[in-house]
Amino acid sequence: MKKYISIFSITLQEYFTYRLNMLMWRIRQIFVFLIPFFIWRAVLGGGGDLYGYDFAAIMTYLFGTTILRSLVMGSRTVDLGWMINSGYLTIPLMRPLGIFRFLLTRDLADKLFNLSFILLEVPLIFLIFKPPVFLQSNPSAILLFVISLLLAALMYFFINIIFGSIGFWSRDVWAPRFLLMVILEFATGAMFPLDMLPTIWQNIMLMTPFPYLLYVPLKIYLASDPNLYLHLGIQLVWTIILFLFTRFIWQKGILRYEAEGR
């Protein structure tokens, strides 16, 4: 356990090495909120609703996705493809560490780092934009939301390992990752709530794992998901499928690893 605490601490220290870099990154997290805020303010700021969302509801959704994105999609495992291609993966492989536990520890450090900054940034966003947001007070909704959030974080961890593992077969890990990022931006519901799409498209999307990263956890938080338990069940099934697939891909990939570059 001690060695994982050390990895956790080193990962956090790495962030503070290039302070300007870190500052810019955090400022970016605030700016992510800007465009959707102004778009929706231009459309709904004067009152009324769109697809059942009034300004307060859409702001809560967008505010929620901004926070959730930092927690769920804040990850160091995105480096995995580079680690494989540069041979850096050899270092953790040679140490007495479980590789998945090593990667997960770094991810947790990243999430703690994000969480601590969110606590500073959220009041700042509130102060500047004064978004009308809804605070959930129902304990069961909060509990289910936390479960969904944990599953989402695990799902994203596995997705990152799967995409990073492409590095075992190809030197080009950036292009698939770029495509994944583009798909995630849309299919997780980060751009807009997916229930604004026609029902058939919503149903198709809900069959993929992506909406379970942001959209479903947020709907659970807002207590506005009519199929809450079904979606939680699907999320659990996707987590298991992604875990099994991650293990399979890793076992196949690691056999091809040649520690090139080391």
Partner 1 sequence: MKLKADRIKSYWRVWLRLTLQQFQTQISNARGAALLFIFGKLFRLATAFLLIYLIVGRAKLIAGYELPQAIFILALFNLNSSITQLFMRGIYVFRQKIVDGTFDFYLLNPLSELFYSLFSYTDPMDLLLFIPYLGITIWAGIGTGFAFTLPLIILIIITLILAEIMIISWHIVMMGIGIRYLEVDNTIMLYRDLEKMAAFPINMYGRLGSIFLTYIFPFALMATIPANLVFGLFNPWSLLGFAVLAILELKLALRFWHNSLLTYSSASS
- Of 29-37, 70-78, 219-227, 244-252, the window that binds partner 1 (rule: CB under 8 A) is 29-37
CA-closest candidate to residue 129, choices 34, 46, 61: 34
Count the site residues for partner 1 by CB under 8 A: 37
Helix (H, G, I), strand (E, B) or coil at 53: strand
Among 158, 168, 192, 215, binds partner 1 (CB under 8 A): 192
Among 176, 234, 243, 257, binds partner 1 (CB under 8 A): 176
State the minimum distance, in angstroms, from the CB of residue 140 to partner 1: 32
State the minimum distance, in angstroms, from the CB of residue 221 to partner 1: 22
DSSP letter for each residue of 84-127: HHHTTTHHHHHSSS-HHHHHHHHHHHHHHHHHHHHHHHHHHHHH
Contact between 32 and partner 1 per CB under 8 A: yes
C-alpha to C-alpha distance for 135 and 21, rounded to whole angstroms: 33
State the minimum distance, in angstroms, from the CB of residue 57 to partner 1: 15
Encoded tokens for 215: 């959209």
Indicate the residue among 34 and 240 with the shorter CB distance to partner 1: 34
C-alpha to C-alpha distance for 16 and 216, rounded to whole angstroms: 33
Indicate the residue among 129 and 243 with the shorter CB distance to partner 1: 129
Contact between 172 and partner 1 per CB under 8 A: yes
Contact between 28 and partner 1 per CB under 8 A: yes
Encoded tokens for 112: 């703690």
State the minimum distance, in angstroms, from the CB of residue 155 to partner 1: 21
Residue whose structure tokens are 């956090």: 12
CB 54 within 8 A of CB 44: yes
Among 141, 196, 222, 223, binds partner 1 (CB under 8 A): 196
Contact between 174 and partner 1 per CB under 8 A: yes
Indicate the residue among 11 and 235 with the shorter CB distance to partner 1: 11
Among 16, 51, 169, 248, binds partner 1 (CB under 8 A): 51
Contact between 35 and partner 1 per CB under 8 A: yes
CB 27 within 8 A of CB 121: no
CB 113 within 8 A of CB 12: yes
C-alpha to C-alpha distance for 254 and 248, rounded to whole angstroms: 10
- Of 19-27, 81-89, 204-212, 221-229, the window that binds partner 1 (rule: CB under 8 A) is 19-27
Query: What is the CA 158 to chain-centroid distance, rounded?
Result: 11
CB 58 within 8 A of CB 40: yes
Encoded tokens for 71: 């927690």
Which residues here bind partner 1, judged by CB under 8 A? 18, 20-21, 24-25, 27-28, 31-32, 34-35, 38-44, 50-51, 170-172, 174-176, 178-179, 181-183, 185-186, 191-192, 196-197
